[in-house]
Structure 1
Amino acid sequence: MQVQELVGIIPWTFIAQICNLFIQMYLIKRFLFKPVHEILKKRRAAADAEITQAEEAKAKAEAIRAEYEQNMQDARQKANEILDGARKTAAIQSEKILKEAQEQSSAMKKKAEKEIAQEKKKAVNEVKGEIGDMAVEIAGKVIEREINEKDHEKLIDEFISNVGEVS
């Protein structure tokens, strides 16, 4: 009966297995690791390219945002300039309107003063005419009769009362 060894090393089998292991490692390295390594390189390059593109897109977005903010600032400044111009124009127009109104009121006042002066002169001339008529009338009455002191006072009183009525 032969006893079988459970664990044993056969030198020719051991050498064949080690050679087999080296051949498998060479074949795996040549046909598996190199292609896998190339695929990883390509993926890394693609990822780097995407990162670069993302950074460029971010830079462009920042530039666009800065331009937008500058445009908004310019628009605000222009709007403020337009408002200031409108305020100045409104102030100038209001001053012009006030000046014209003052000139018109001044002209109307002068015209009214002239009319009052003319009416006053006219009234004075009419009073003078009436006073003259009364004086002539009194003189006529004095000539018609001889006046004593009492009649003279009466005529003066009548003259004064007539003058008071006229004025």
Structure 2
Amino acid sequence: MDFQVNILPDPINLGLQLVATLIIFLVLRAKVTEPLKAMLEKRASGIEKDIKVAKDQKAEAEDLKTKYEISLEKAKEEGREIVESAKKRGDQLKEEIISEARAEASVERNRAKNEIEREKEKALDSLKSEVASMAMLVANKVVNKNLDESTHKDMIDNFINEVGETKWQS
């Protein structure tokens, strides 16, 4: 048996395979490479657009954060001002209440003084009247005579006037 091994390929088969491979390569390049390249470019531009949008959103978020922090600080300041205002109003109200209480106490004190003066006057008038009555009784006993009503009244009035002019000591 004679068997011969040929190491070199058949030139016709080799040529046909090379031509077929070249045709497949060209077809694939025309049909697959260009659409693939277009798809990759479209994807790259989409990614760039998404990155730009993300950067814009990040900048907008930073602006919102800054505005929020400023707004929060203003709200805190307004809160402090409201508390301070309420504190001042409370102090003012406290002073007004104290002032009103002092005024009422003063009025009440004056009213009490006036009432005491009236009561003192009443007591003095009552005392004068009783002293006059006692004086008349003493005078009646000393004189041992009864006076008529008009003389009696005149003597009492004179006595009250004399006693009224002197200062009573309490």
Q: TM-score category by the smaller chain? A: 0.5 to 0.7
Q: Counterparts of 1:2 and 1:38 in 2: how far apart (Å)? A: 58
The answer as to 2:59 corresponding to 1:89 is no
Shift of 1:12: 6.9
Alignment match, 1:46: 46
Alignment match, 1:104: 104
Q: Counterparts of 1:9 and 1:142 in 2: how far apart (Å)? A: 184
The answer as to 2:79 corresponding to 1:76 is no
Q: What pairs up with 1:11-50 in 2 under 5 angstroms?
A: 25=25, 28-50=28-50
- Quick one: percent identity of the two aligned structures? 28
Q: Counterparts of 2:4 and 2:32 in 1: how far apart (Å)? A: 40
Cα deviation 1:97-119 (Å, max 9, x = unaligned): 22112211211111111111121
The range that moved more, 92-101 or 20-29, is 20-29
Which ranges of structure 2 fall in alignment gaps of 5 or more residues?
146-170
Shift of 1:18: 5.5
Q: Counterparts of 1:2 and 1:32 in 2: how far apart (Å)? A: 49
Cα deviation 1:20-78 (Å, max 9, x = unaligned): 65665555445543432232122111111111111211221222232223223322322
Alignment match, 1:133: 133
Q: Counterparts of 2:40 and 2:144 in 1: how far apart (Å)? A: 152
**SS of structure 2 residue aligned to 1:68:** helix
Q: Counterparts of 2:33 and 2:51 in 1: how far apart (Å)? A: 26
What TM-score results when the alignment is normalised by the length of structure 1?
0.67
Shift of 1:144: 2.8
Q: Counterparts of 1:123 and 1:41 in 2: how far apart (Å)? A: 119
Structure 1 stretches of at least 4 aligned residues deviating more than 4 Å after TM superposition: 1-4, 9-31
What TM-score results when the alignment is normalised by the length of structure 2?
0.66
Q: Counterparts of 2:16 and 2:129 in 1: how far apart (Å)? A: 164
Q: Counterparts of 1:25 and 1:2 in 2: how far apart (Å)? A: 40
Shift of 1:120: 1.0
The answer as to 2:140 corresponding to 1:116 is no
Which ranges of structure 1 fall in alignment gaps of 5 or more residues?
146-167
**SS of structure 1 residue aligned to 2:50:** helix
Q: Counterparts of 2:124 and 2:83 in 1: how far apart (Å)? A: 60
The range that moved more, 45-54 or 13-22, is 13-22
| Letter of the 2:8 counterpart | G
RMSD: 3.1
